[in-house]
Amino acid sequence: MPCAIVAREFGLAAVIGAQGATSLIADGAEVEVDPHRGVVRRL
C-alpha cells in the first residue's frame, strides 16, 4: 500500500485496488477519479 501513502502525502486523489484497471484504461487516457466513492471514469 505504499502508493496510497505517497498519494496522501502529496495530496493526490488515489483509488487503490481497482481490479483490471490497467487492462481497461489505455496509456495516456484521460480519467476522472472520485476518491470518496472509489470510482474511476474514462473521459
- The pLDDT of residue 39 is 83
Report the sign of the C-alpha dihedral through residues 25, 22, 4, 6, in that order: negative
Q: What is the mean pLDDT of each run of 10 residues along the chain (43 residues)?
A: 85 81 90 84 91
- The pLDDT of residue 16 is 79
- The pLDDT of residue 9 is 93
Q: Which residue has the cell 484521460?
A: 30
| Domain that residue 20 falls in | 2-42
How many residues in total does the chain contain? Answer: 43
Q: How much is the pTM?
A: 0.53
Burial class (CB in 10 A: 0-12, 13-18, 19+), 7: middle
* Number of domains into which the chain is organized: 1
